[in-house]
Amino acid sequence: GQQLNQSPQSMFIQEGEDVSMNCTSSSIFNTWLWYKQDPGEGPVLLIALYKAGELTSNGRLTAQFGITRKDSFLNISASIPSDVGIYFCAGPGSSNTGKLIFGQGTTLQVKP
Amino acid sequence: GAGVSQSPSNKVTEKGKDVELRCDPISGHTALYWYRQSLGQGLEFLIYFQGNSAPDKSGLPSDRFSAERTGGSVSTLTIQRTQQEDSAVYLCASSFTATNEKLFFGSGTQLSVL
């Protein structure tokens, strides 16, 4: 079945540093979504991407939809302590519904 | 409501007991989803509803798991004869329609089976 692989699994960085994480798929996705999960909460949608090559920003976050449609990247600039959490990439399965396939997540820790 | 509401937030139960988890979606959202998140893992799809019907139940792990939705609103996920491997966070999400991939999640129910 379809799978999403995220890397790195975890990151421990200094406040102010930039962060980059990525997500790759064994098959083509038509939509890429990036979610963030704070401890004890459900995931919150950060960015949605709908077109190959698309680059979208949300504040200090920038995400790109890979040209091959098999990968996506999320960058966070000038990290701050509240960026701590788990970042998930996700994409719709073959049914093109909210039945999403999620990556395993990248855990980000920021040292003040 | 303003967001997706789940109850209880935490549930501790003994192996073999039945549990019911409740989800109240965002008002006006016709699609509702249940996911499971095991410790340190990504989210695993269980079932989704469009209105009161469940077009896709393929993620339910066994026949001990069932879900229903009434009135196009509240949903309950029932786990019968709980096992220790059922311990996880059960997340509910809703979206405006089933073809809209932008899901809004609740805070989840942390289920611990002793």
Closest CA to A11 of A26, A25, A22: A22
CB atoms closer than 10 angstroms to residue A107: 16
Mean pLDDT along residues B63-88: 96
Q: Quick one: pLDDT band at residue A98, thresholds 50, 70, 90?
A: confident
**Environment class of B28 (CB within 10 Å of its CB; exposed 0-12, middle 13-18, buried 19+):** exposed
Which one of B31, B42, B107 has the shortest CB-CB distance to A104? B42
> Over the range B69-103, which residues count as b (16 or more CB within 10 Å of their CB) and which as e?
beebbebebebeebeeebbbbbbbbbbeebeebeb
User: Do the Cβ atoms of A98 and B95 come within 8 Å?
Assistant: yes
Cα dihedral across residues B68, B19, B33, A42: positive or negative:
positive
**Environment class of A82 (CB within 10 Å of its CB; exposed 0-12, middle 13-18, buried 19+):** exposed
CA distance B52 to chain A (A): 16
The pLDDT score that the predictor gives to residue A1 is: 67
Residues 6-65 of A with CB under 8 A from B: 31, 33, 40-45, 48
CA dihedral (A90, A91, A94, A96) in degrees, to 10, reads 120
Owner of token pair 């190959």: A52
Closest CA to A49 of A91, A88, A20: A91
The pLDDT score that the predictor gives to residue A95 is: 66
Mean pLDDT along residues B1-12: 92
Rounded Cα gap, residues B24 and B86, in angstroms: 22
Q: Does A103 touch chain B (CB under 8 A)?
A: yes
What DSSP state is assigned to residue B86?
G
The 10s digit of each residue's pLDDT in A19-59 is: 999 999 989 998 999 999 999 899 999 999 999 999 999 99
